[in-house]
Chain A
């Protein structure tokens, strides 16, 4: 029995040591679920150290499509979300999961495709372009297919063009559902020399790696507004509301708004986002 006791002691000691090493420490952490387009553009990596320094907190940034980001929020697995789907954010707040929807930046969606524009959609409205793609069916279209904000926008364009989205999905091999983030979808679109709908920020950030150009970039439906929503501590008591609110205030503060507005000018030659705290653009 002495050996068994010794064994058990070793088990407890090892597990205890390892648990300590794994960091069940007391540093404050703020858990953010963000849309992939804000992550893939590098905006979060740029802002993260500034926020961490100002508030002495560890920012845990989880990148996910808008759909899954909202689900994390509903389940209480994150404290704050940064996404881009107005109607779903409003629903999230109306259901009591979010405290308030606070827009902080915007840009535009763009339909990108091969420079030769094989489907001949240049100069059309987004709705007409989609109609043309669907009716000819010769050029492929790569859909995010992941219930993200961009995917939501794509569905909205189909609806606005008079299509039932479920019908579009079933019309043939030209319609490809990637099921991945914006970056990977752009890379796939480039490989296939197809068309896709992208937010301008991610497209500019990936422009150097892909062989695609903007084809359709005019149309009020293409407006893309990013909002930050603090999760409601009344729904999930573990939510770090105070720090979540700090992040909302941080993103909408004049200094950070200016930094967001200039972000990307050096690296990509264009600014990727237009700041819009207290001044949400209306399409």
Chain B
């Protein structure tokens, strides 16, 4: 149990001393997850609005499928991406395997169902009167959708928080398609996995605490955004 306390002390030392390796991995974790969230948001906002505002056969089934994909295992996504972007795979020419971009691709696949599902349910929560009023004032469909998105902002930021949480905490995917290459694709979670396997428990715990600290800061920032 002393490891926990030692890990805590070590975490503080690493943060205060701006340990270059740790700062780099933390920065990379943050950067990669933020990119994944941004791309995923850009895909899911219009797609979610489309699914919500259009009526088509099989809509309920589609929503169920999206919700099922909430529990996509990270290693399965990793394997899928690996098979596609490995040199021997259909997208091999892009040379993406073992690069940070590969992790982003995987994380977008991983978190998009969550963001999409939560955005759809966020939009479902908006009063129908909003759309009706907007339309009666001459709004186009896109404009009406934008008004709805504004109304649902609180819940949409929640979707972002959930997506970010899943992206920054996953490890299986990053290991498989990123390769945990020092100074290039090593993130906080893959570093924790490596340090644990090396028996460097204090360092691993310290890294875990730093990850939680980052998540805390991000969540506080997003909550402020939510309240605005």
Residues of A within 8 A of B (CB): 1, 3-4, 7, 10-11, 14-15, 18-19, 21-24, 31, 40, 45, 48, 58, 60-63, 74-77, 180-181, 183-184, 187, 206, 209-210, 236, 238
Partner of B101, one of A11, A24, A187: A24
In the complex with contacts A18-B38, A61-B181, A180-B197, A23-B100 CB distance below 8 A: yes
Decide if B181 touches A183 in the complex (CB within 8 Å). Answer: no
Decide if A238 touches B199 in the complex (CB within 8 Å). Answer: no
Within 8 A of A (CB), among B24-70: 31-32, 35, 38-39, 42, 46
Within 8 A of A (CB), among B156-194: 179-185
Shortest CB-to-CB span from B228 to chain A, Å, is 19
Check if B120 is an interface residue, CB within 8 A of chain A: no
Decide if B31 touches A61 in the complex (CB within 8 Å). Answer: no
In the complex with contacts A1-B142, A75-B88, A23-B182 CB distance below 8 A: no
Say which size band chain B's interface belongs to: 20 to 34
Closest chain B residue to A181, Cβ basis:
B197
Closest chain A residue to B194, Cβ basis:
A63
Residues of B within 8 A of A (CB): 31-32, 35, 38-39, 42, 46, 86-88, 92, 95, 97-101, 104, 140, 142-143, 146, 179-185, 197-199
- In the bound complex, residues from chain A placing their C-beta under 8 Å from that of B101 are 19, 22-24
Shortest CB-to-CB span from A164 to chain B, Å, is 31
**In the assembly, what is the distance between CA of A60 and CA of B86, in Å?**
16
**In the assembly, what is the distance between CA of A23 and CA of B198, in Å?**
29
- In the bound complex, residues from chain A placing their C-beta under 8 Å from that of B142 are 1, 3-4
In the complex with contacts A31-B98, A60-B98, A183-B197, A3-B143 CB distance below 8 A: yes
Shortest CB-to-CB span from A10 to chain B, Å, is 8
Decide if B87 touches A60 in the complex (CB within 8 Å). Answer: no
Closest chain A residue to B104, Cβ basis:
A22
- In the bound complex, residues from chain A placing their C-beta under 8 Å from that of B88 are 74-77
- In the bound complex, residues from chain B placing their C-beta under 8 Å from that of A236 are 87
- In the bound complex, residues from chain B placing their C-beta under 8 Å from that of A22 are 32, 35, 99-101, 104
Shortest CB-to-CB span from A215 to chain B, Å, is 21
Closest chain B residue to A186, Cβ basis:
B199
**In the assembly, what is the distance between CA of A220 and CA of B86, in Å?**
39
- In the bound complex, residues from chain B placing their C-beta under 8 Å from that of A62 are 98, 179-181
Decide if A209 touches B199 in the complex (CB within 8 Å). Answer: yes
Closest chain B residue to A187, Cβ basis:
B199
Decide if B87 touches A14 in the complex (CB within 8 Å). Answer: no
Partner of B92, one of A1, A45, A76: A76
7 pairs of residues in contact across A and B, judged by CB atoms under 8 Å: A11-B42, A45-B182, A62-B179, A76-B86, A77-B98, A187-B197, A236-B87
Partner of A60, one of B104, B179, B197: B179
